[in-house]
Structure 1
């Protein structure tokens, strides 16, 4: 099996099992957040879990994505507090790619998740708080 050409912002289905405790698992969509140099040369990628359960507690690390824009079956939420390094062999079908505006929101949520101090508080279109 050949390894896919993976780009930052791509959404793939990935097999995240096995898991422990509250980790997101199973076959689910993930967002590739690793830089493209790492994506090209490393056998692993850094990815964030995506869920279609929209009723989860809203956190500043959650980014809404619309199904038709992301190549998914349902509107979903990127969980940027659920970030993992996974082997590329876990990646299955490519579903889509996020636009630059959504990736800017992702970058802000990553900064919040990692406590980088570069994120500024603000509001999304839906009124939820960033930062």
Structure 2
């Protein structure tokens, strides 16, 4: 598991705008650093969910990813505003990977969302 890879996570629940939260398997992007990802004694991983819904409604902290650049079947948005920590064992299988340019956009939006950079 590497930073920037997309995995299917089992039984992942998150709020989705004006719809009720639904618990289901969901694609997530690995945001955590690779040192902690490789640490077999550390059971957690920081991820952000992806959604194929409402791609026309994008918040400042969302990142749109085209299917052709990620290996996913459909265009998606990464919901950085609702990132969370899950167990590494909740990751089912690798689905794809984000390219370097998109990772740079993710890094910038994470820094802004967490207050490390001014908007």
The TM-score normalised by the length of structure 1 is: 0.77
Contact between 1:31 and 1:49, CA under 8 Å: does it hold in 2?
Answer: yes
Distance in 1 (alpha carbons) for counterparts of 2:62 and 2:79 = 5
CA 7–24 in structure 1, closer or farther in 2 if over 3 Å, else same: farther
Shift in alpha-carbon separation, 1:83–1:24, aligned structure 2, 3 A: farther
Which of the residues 26, 30, 33 maps onto 1:32?
Answer: 30
Q: Which residue of 1 aligns with 2:74?
A: 74
Structure ranking higher in strand proportion: 2
Per the TM alignment, residue 56 of structure 1 is displaced from its structure 2 partner at its CA by: 5.6
Specify every segment of 5 or more residues in structure 2 that has no aligned partner in the other structure, as ranges.
Answer: none
Matched, 1:10 2:5: yes
**Alignment-derived partner of residue 48 in structure 1:** 48
Q: How big is each residue's C-alpha offset from its partner over 1:4-56, in whole Å with a ceiling of 9 and x where there is no partner? A: xx100000010243x47556742111000000001011211100010011346
Unpaired segments of 5 or more residues in structure 1?
A: 1-5, 120-130
Q: Which runs of 4+ in 1 moved over 3 A?
A: 19-25
Q: TM-score, normalised by structure 2?
A: 0.84
What is the root-mean-square deviation in Å for CA atoms of aligned residues?
1.9
Output the CA distance in 2 between the equivalents of 1:31 and 1:55: 17
Specify which structure has the bigger relative contact order, considering alpha-carbon pairs within 8 angstroms and separated by 6 or more residues. Answer: 2
**Distance in 2 between the 1:25 and 1:108 partners?**
29
- How many residue pairs get aligned? The number is 113
